């Protein structure tokens, strides 16, 4: 029998797992429903398309009963949250959970206001498959606290959020991913680190939103191995950033070259660049 998911990774390292997951996204082209912020819509859609997935920015509550059952995964991002958007986010998340479909939460600026924190906690209660945020967002969610904030940017390093990520994963039952110089992914017990990426990715708005969308595409094709799928997506996005950075002159050209690189990544590049390791 062919090894799958975790077994395959343990036998031959992460490279083949990451490549197999990217190949599955390209082959299956999963439909991803994105309820995301206004800033990110373009980069999120183009990231998904260049990876081979099929994005659809459908966010009206009236369309959810017809559309959400057809998607491979749902992506919810609270970046430009207002009260009128929240019912659609919760209705879609509840339906995805009921249908056993993977859904992924990006809790942008979770600790910036009481309104936003409460909304994020209500979404977490609807059992996302994966929660991906920066370190400050994951700490705010885990502590359920509003505090000093840099808004959508992080004022912490990803490693500062290791314990918060584990606690949040234990409490929620979700895979929790913290992005940063090292991306941390945990189910509350196992913790892996992704060491791909370049610092310039922080200078492009919506790269965090886009990597969360990519996680949704990867869990859509391997929902039973959500931790491995999440690490794979973060590694692939980081590698696309590394390849793009080789020719970029700054954030604007990195944005273009990163999308081109994501589209054209081949097996040799992926196998040589994947940099994922467990934490003991």
Ligand X SMILES: Nc1ncnc2c1ncn2[C@@H]1O[C@H](COP(=O)(O)OP(=O)(O)O)[C@@H](O)[C@H]1O
- For ligand X, the binding residues (CB under 6 A) are 134, 153-154, 179-181, 183, 197-199, 201-202, 207-208, 211, 234, 237-238
Residue 185 within binding range of ligand TZP, rule CB under 6 A: no
- From the list ligand TZP, Mg ion, ligand X, none, pick the one residue 154 interacts with, judged by a Cβ distance below 5 to 8 Å according to partner type: ligand X
Q: Is the dihedral of CA 117, 118, 119, 122 positive or negative?
A: positive
**Binders of ligand TZP among 57-96, rule CB under 6 A?**
79-80
Residue 23 within binding range of ligand TZP, rule CB under 6 A: no
Cα(6)–Cα(48) distance, rounded to whole angstroms?
24
Cα(131)–Cα(128) distance, rounded to whole angstroms?
7
- From the list ligand TZP, ligand X, Mg ion, none, pick the one residue 265 interacts with, judged by a Cβ distance below 5 to 8 Å according to partner type: none
Instruction: Tell me the two tokens of residue 262.
Output: 């994501």
CB 211 within 8 A of CB 40: no
Place of tokens 């995805």: 96
User: Which C-beta is closer to Mg ion: that of 68 or that of 77?
Assistant: 77
Per-residue binding string, ligand TZP, 193-222, x by CB under 6 A, is ------------xxxxx-------------
Instruction: Tell me the two tokens of residue 238.
Output: 């980081």
Give min distance, CB of 271 to ligand TZP, in A.
28
SS3 113: coil
User: Which of 33-41, 50-58, 168-176, 223-231 is the region at the interface with ligand TZP (rule: CB under 6 A)?
Assistant: 33-41
Cα(173)–Cα(158) distance, rounded to whole angstroms?
20
Cα(103)–Cα(94) distance, rounded to whole angstroms?
10
**Binders of Mg ion among 82-141, rule CB under 5 A?**
108
Residue 142 within binding range of ligand TZP, rule CB under 6 A: no
User: Which C-beta is closer to ligand X: that of 118 or that of 203?
Assistant: 203
- Closest residue by Cα to residue 95 from 127, 119, 141: 127
Binding stretches for ligand TZP (CB under 6 A): 37, 39-40, 79-80, 108, 152, 205-209
């Amino acid at each position: 029998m062919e090894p799958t998911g975790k077994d395959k990774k343990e036998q031959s390292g992460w490279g083949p797992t990451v490549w197999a997951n990217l190949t599955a996204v390209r082959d299956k082209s999963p439909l991803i429903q994105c309820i995301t912020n206004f800033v990110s819509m373009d980069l999120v859609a183009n990231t998904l398309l260049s990876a081979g997935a099929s994005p659809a920015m459908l966010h009206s509550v009236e369309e959810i009963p017809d559309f959400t059952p057809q998607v491979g995964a749902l992506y919810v991002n609270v970046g430009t949250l207002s009260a009128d958007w929240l019912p659609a986010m919760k209705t879609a998340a509840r339906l995805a959970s009921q249908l056993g479909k993977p859904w992924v939460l990006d809790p942008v600026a979770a600790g910036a206001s009481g309104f936003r924190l409460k909304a994020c906690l209500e979404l977490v209660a609807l059992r996302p498959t994966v929660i991906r945020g920066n370190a400050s967002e994951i700490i705010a969610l885990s502590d359920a606290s509003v505090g000093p904030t840099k808004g959508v940017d992080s004022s912490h390093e990803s490693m500062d959020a290791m314990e918060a990520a584990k606690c949040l994963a234990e409490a929620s039952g979700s895979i929790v991913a913290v992005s940063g110089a090292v991306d941390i992914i945990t189910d509350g017990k196992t913790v892996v680190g992704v060491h791909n990426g370049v610092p310039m990715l922080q200078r492009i708005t919506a790269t965090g939103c886009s990597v969360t969308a990519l996680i949704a595409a990867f869990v859509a094709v391997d929902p039973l191995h959500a931790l491995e799928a999440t690490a794979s997506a973060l590694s692939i996005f980081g590698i696309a950033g590394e390849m793009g950075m080789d020719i970029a002159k700054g954030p604007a050209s990195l944005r273009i070259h990163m999308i081109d690189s994501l589209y054209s990544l081949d097996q040799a590049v992926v196998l040589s660049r994947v940099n994922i390791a467990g934490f003991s």
